[in-house]
Amino acid sequence: MPELRKGVRRGRATLAQLEEQGEGQKQTRKRNQGQKRAAAAAERGRPRTRLAAKRLKEEDNRQVLVAEAVGEDLNHNPQVIEISERDSDIERKELVKADIEKKGAVMGDDSGGLSANKAAGQEEEGSTAPFPEKVQVGGSPTYKIERKLGKGGFGQVFVGRRVSGGNERATGAGALEVALKFEHRNSKGCSYGPPYEWQVYNALGGSHGVPKVHYKGKQGDYYVMVMDMLGPSLWDVWNSSGQAMSAEMVACIAVESLSILEKMHSKGYVHGDVKPENFLLGQPSTAQEKKLFLVDLGLATKWKDSSSGSHVEYDQRPDMFRGTVRYASVHAHLGRTASRRDDLESLAYTLIFLHRGRLPWQGYQGDNKSFLVCKKKMATSPEMLCCFCPPPLKQFLEVVVNMKFDEEPNYSKLISLFDSLLGTNPAIRPINTDGAQKIIYQVGQKRGRLNIDEEDGQPKKKVRLGVPATQWISVYNARLPMKQRYHYNVADARLAQHVEKGMADGLLISCVASCTSLWALIMDAGTGFTSQVYELSPSFLHKEWIMDQWEKNYYISSIAGSTSGSSLVVMSKGTQYTQQSYKVSDSFPFKWINKKWREGFYVTSMATAGSRWGVVMSRNAGFSDQV
């Protein structure tokens, strides 16, 4: 017998009520299922909403540095790192794309720029052990960890307060509050022991403009540095000043920054990441509140050899970027070895940003952001960039962007550029400029103009003398975006494997060159050629092989000769040429070229091998005139 339902008897529901009830149950089931899915997704680390999924997908597909169209061929492994903050709204926004390579990581910075670190990796949230409540390292007093000051590619910084002792007015090791910098032992910068930054602070710490490290050591899973407590960064000051700074303030920052960089460079280091966030003032209401400091030495590198004192050798690796996209020098974008000129170019962009409040290359997004920023920097003249700035900023930028790789900056003359913007009384300047005044005093009171010599009251242009530079120079033509890569210092035995790999990837040779019997070649996907052959011959421009390829409708598209007399000849189908001729001569063939010009030929390639010249001339080359 069926069991009777207990309780008060309900009236029979109408059809409409039943339908409504059924719909309600469906909605409840859907809601419960959605909650279960969201919970499961949260456990698996998946996004809960379509918007979050879309953002995640966009960030996952984004590459921080793209070498398309400028000769860089990169193989990156993108990862998405979720960076959580105390504010829940910030937590929802902060999905930062990190491109972590074998030797580094790329990360976002507070200013909206992008920082790349090739020496030490970024810590991943959730993968590190909790921070200790108290710290004592290297014989230091015991400090209690308080509020968080900041976070970057080289760890996190907290306020440390002495548990006992200490003087609230004191500075240095006896201070009541210090800055504690933590770096996890599993971060890439600690792969071989203590952080690389410790070495730099050992060499620079306590020198002019660099905070002193009082204690350092390892506690638990963290390497810890105990440093001087500092005040706001120039980024903070800029924000609180209506996002613009006066000409005098910027001039004070310029001369004091130059004095700090001069001291750092004199010890053999370049900073590598000069930007507003890395310049800090002293603590407010102390004797150092107007003193400028340069921090975050994790990207610092040596510009000269410690033992010999000679400048490091020039190199270029487009897959290696160091610094912050917004403020990095053009040379850093192109992967060139860092030298003193790069710090000064980054300082110029920093000063212009602080004065104007914006740089023309801000706001770029997408996969090729770094390339677009680099292209914009190269296309923006000092006159255009500094059109709303005082003249000294333009003069400073013109000097530093034209410096040579190993050129020694004239710091005193660079400082003197800003004399007209500084107040006459150093005591009332917004920034302490004692360091700059010392440099000026050391070189005397004489002020010289940059890049000119005075002779009989007339400016005389300087001429740079010296041996030719032994470095590769790449020239790019304006054309549609393409995939491009280059190889340099290639020996004869390895040439074939590079060419075959490029051709398998859909690339063809567009340019070749040689130096000291080594080869360089550029391959790209936008040549317009349909087919290509090449020959590496011990003789200079092997005649029989070239004649055979002409019979097959191939034309010479690029040539190069080595000092040993050998040559690399590349011939392609799909060129616009209709007829071709070439000449090998012990001297430059002026008469032959003039004769061919009259016949409608134009020079399309040339090379040397030892003391011999090789010149290729073609009909229908697309030129209207040639000299």
Paired residues of 184 in beta bridges: 222
Sequence-separated (6 or more) residues with CB below 8 Å from residue 32: none
Provide the pLDDT confidence category of residue 34 given band limits of 50, 70 and 90: low
How is 455-504 classified by DSSP, letter by letter?
ETTEEEE----SSPP-S--------S---EEEEEEE-HHHHHHHHHHHHH
Cα torsion for 578, 584, 587, 593, to the nearest 10°? Answer: -20
Residue 120 has pLDDT above 70, yes or no: no
| Overall size of the chain counted in residues | 627
Residue 395 has pLDDT above 90, yes or no: yes
Provide the pLDDT confidence category of residue 129 given band limits of 50, 70 and 90: confident
Cβ(589)–Cβ(582) under 8 Å?
Answer: no
How much is the pLDDT for 510?
92
Provide the pLDDT confidence category of residue 110 given band limits of 50, 70 and 90: very low
Half-sphere exposure of 94 (CA within 13 A, CB side): 16
How much is the pLDDT for 523?
92
Distance CA 57, CA 326 (A): 25
Query: Does residue 134 have a known ligand-binding role?
Result: no
Average pLDDT over residues 113-140: 62
DSSP state of 305: -
Q: What stretch of H or E contains 361? A: none
Question: Which residue in 222, 90, 232 sits closest to 150, CA to CA?
Answer: 232
Higher pLDDT, 359 or 35: 359
Tally Cβ neighbours within 10 Å of residue 149. Answer: 14
Residue 204 has pLDDT above 80, yes or no: yes
Domains of the chain and any CATH numbers? 134-227 (3.30.200.20), 232-443 (1.10.510.10), 484-619 (no CATH)
Provide the pLDDT confidence category of residue 474 given band limits of 50, 70 and 90: low
Distance CA 163, CA 545 (A): 83
How much is the pLDDT for 627?
87
Question: Which residue in 323, 322, 318 sits closest to 371, CA to CA?
Answer: 318
Active site residue 87: no
Tally Cβ neighbours within 10 Å of residue 491. Answer: 9
Residue 274 has pLDDT above 80, yes or no: yes
Distance CA 230, CA 434 (A): 18
Over residues 552-572, the pLDDT tens digits come to 999 999 999 998 889 999 999
| Secondary structure (H, E, C), 523-548 | EECCCCCCEEEEEEECCCCCHHHHHH
Paired residues of 90 in beta bridges: none
The one catalytic residue in 273, 296, 342, 524 is 273
Over residues 577-603, the pLDDT tens digits come to 999 999 999 999 999 999 999 999 999
Buried b (16+ CB within 10 A) or exposed e, 392-422: bbbbbbbbbbebebbeebebbbbbbbbeebb
Sequence-separated (6 or more) residues with CB below 8 Å from residue 301: 119, 269, 270, 272, 322, 338
Q: CA 275, 281, 285 angle in degrees (round to 5)?
A: 160
Provide the pLDDT confidence category of residue 114 given band limits of 50, 70 and 90: very low
Cβ(181)–Cβ(227) under 8 Å?
Answer: yes
Residue the block writes with tokens 């030797």: 103
Distance CA 494, CA 439 (A): 52
Cα torsion for 615, 619, 620, 624, to the nearest 10°? Answer: 70
How much is the pLDDT for 535?
94
Distance CA 386, CA 400 (A): 14
For residue 558 the two structure tokens come to 């690029």
How much is the pLDDT for 48?
53
Q: Kindly report which listed range (68-72, 203-207, 209-213, 359-363) carries the lowest average pLDDT score.
A: 68-72
